[in-house]
Amino acid sequence: MNHSMQISAGAVRTASLDAWRKLAPMQAIKSPVMFVVWVGTLWSFAMTVQRLLQDQPYGFALCCSLILLFTVWFANFAEAIAEARGRDQAASLKATRRDLTATLRNKAGQLTQVNASTLKQGDVVVVEPGQLIPADGEIVQGVASINESALTGESAPVLREAGTDHSGVIAGTKLLSGRIEVQVTAESGHSFLDKMIRLVEGTQRQKTPNELALTVLLAALTLVFLLAVATLPSMAEFVGIKLDPLLLIALLVCLIPTTIAGLLPAIGIAGMNRALAANLIAKSGKAVEVAGDIDTLLLDKTGTITFGDRQATAFLPLPGVTQTELVRVAVLSSLQDPTPEGKSVVKLARELGDITELPQAAEFVPFSAETRLSGLRLPAEGADSGQGFASSYISSFAYKGASDAICRFALSQGLAVPQALEGIVSKVAQQGATPLVVVSAKRILGVIQLSDVIKPGVAERFAKLRALGVRTVMVTGDNPITAGAIAAVAGVDDFVAEARPEDKLALIRAEQAKGHLVAMVGDGTNDAPALAQADVGLAMNSGTQAAKDAGNMVDLDSDPTKLLAVVEVGKQLLITRGALTTFSLANDVAKYFVIIPAVFAASMPGIGLLNLMQLPDPQIAVISALIFNAVIIPLLIPLALKGVKIRAISAENLLRNNLLIYGLGGLLLPFVAIKLIDLGLNWML
């Protein structure tokens, strides 16, 4: 899916019409600031009609009315164009949702063709190569190669397999090879694709906490200016001046923060759209916003910092152990190991000439987070059943695993832990590799060296996040020495070694107890509690349904490093909102010092001295200010949609730059722009 940041001509036309529809009272009242402008527009038009009927000059009133109308329309257009761009992006998602059929397996085991919209949670469907997967679900039988390009834009097929953390499938994706049975996890209308479409179209968008707080602040400022303007007529009468009500309306509109009020919804919607452009689905605008406040980032080492494709590169036997013995036991512990690491052990051994085969009656012991070892064991009667080398080398079991896990296991079996083991393990770990210790029923034999590669550019991204005030913590099951070596090269701020899945949850809670906002990434069912606990939980699209349900963001590319992009998208949202708020408030201050002296200059010479811009006609000066106030909103729409460029600088420097660029710029621009508009109007008139 190509999430283009461009806006189509059709989207602009649709947004233009939607902007008029948003003039309806129930729509207008959603923004307190713009509602005041909306009421002022109606009042201004009413006075225009009154003056027309009474045969009084109405040109100034009509100009003010039209400019005020377009001020509200431009604010509506800013929100509508952001929503229209979301609908453009949703259109490509809708293209993947079609009238699908499904092969349903009923309780009797019979297969029947049904419409996919009739599928219910718990149904089991059979999918053949070339068919589209009819519903979200989990593969319960089979292995599949699936094309998910309709969702992710990634043309390379992905593997999904029953009983693994990569068993989840999504409706509308295409099965390339393998026959699978899928248990439906979401009914029609509630699928992942349906949720995505609703989210990007904005139909479920709610104001985020920060947006609500800013809306309240803007409403309070508007109320203050409303009361201030309401007192002007009595003050003017006291000095013998009669103010035109239209001047008061125009003055109020120019002073209240219309710029940021008009752009605020667009900024929030654009933040979610930018997340979608990065193939991230945020379940709410709050998730994107909170990502900008994150100050602690928990990252798995494997797949995030490193490529995660650890390969066996060396066998390191202990003193008194032959290379052949270590290799054979290592192979026995890996022959039925389906992991890339296990397969690489067998591959390296074969390259060294080993021909060890699997003993009869051998039972594979898979890796688990609790034991942190894997291998095989033989029944007592199987140790001598024609397997001479098995009996000779392993007796009853052959395991490989983390150093501490193997040492504890060896001691529990009454085996000694050689002193030389620690030295070999430390040497491997100091090289940034992972040591796997090999043990048989007779003794600990040595170490398999697994080497991984740190992803290029990761250190630079961590440095950028550090400059933005984000602390990075690497979580890994490796021993502390290996973890420390990788952490130093990768440039993370801290690391947690020998971590189990439950340790992530404990770590997140500990960080949150200190007042930190935490983000983490996960894809397995065992990651679900931590994803739910984290302030930002990024689930992999390739992961389990439990993980996707627990997280508040989903990465369609299933790239763990996307967590870094999540933080950047969130911070860009907050920086953009802050920059445009600063610009808007600075604008209001400047317009106050431009308009008040111009309005009162003729009647009060003392105030006229403050008319630095030398605006000769109060009415033209007010119209000039209204025009500037209206056109600045559409001029800033591209910045609101694209976002302020994020740079790796400290919060203090960011605030200083914001004040210089958007604060000082917002203060000076109205003086120059209003003067130029005034000169143009005076020249035309």
- Report the alpha-carbon distance of residue 151 to residue 554 in Å, rounded: 12
Question: Per-residue DSSP letters for 603-634?
Answer: T-HHHHTT-TT----HHHHHHHHHHHHHHHHH
> In a 3-state reduction of DSSP, which class is residue 447?
strand
Q: What are phi and psi of 624, to 5 degrees?
A: -60, -45
| Cβ atoms 479, 402 nearer than 8 A | yes
| Cβ atoms 597, 606 nearer than 8 A | no
Give 512's strand partners: none
CA distances from 611 to 165, 591, 681 (A): 70, 12, 18
Give 127's strand partners: 180
What b/e sequence results for 250-267 when a residue is b if at least 16 CB atoms lie within 10 Å of its CB, and e otherwise? bbbbbbbbbbbbbbbbbb
| Cβ atoms 443, 413 nearer than 8 A | no
Structure tokens given for 291: 């990502």
| Cβ atoms 446, 323 nearer than 8 A | no
- Report the alpha-carbon distance of residue 325 to residue 395 in Å, rounded: 13
Residue 645 carries which side chain, given as an amino acid letter? K
| Cβ atoms 144, 177 nearer than 8 A | yes
| Cβ atoms 584, 639 nearer than 8 A | no
Give 125's strand partners: 104, 182
Residue 371 carries which side chain, given as an amino acid letter? T
- Report the alpha-carbon distance of residue 589 to residue 672 in Å, rounded: 14
The residues annotated as belonging to the active site are 300
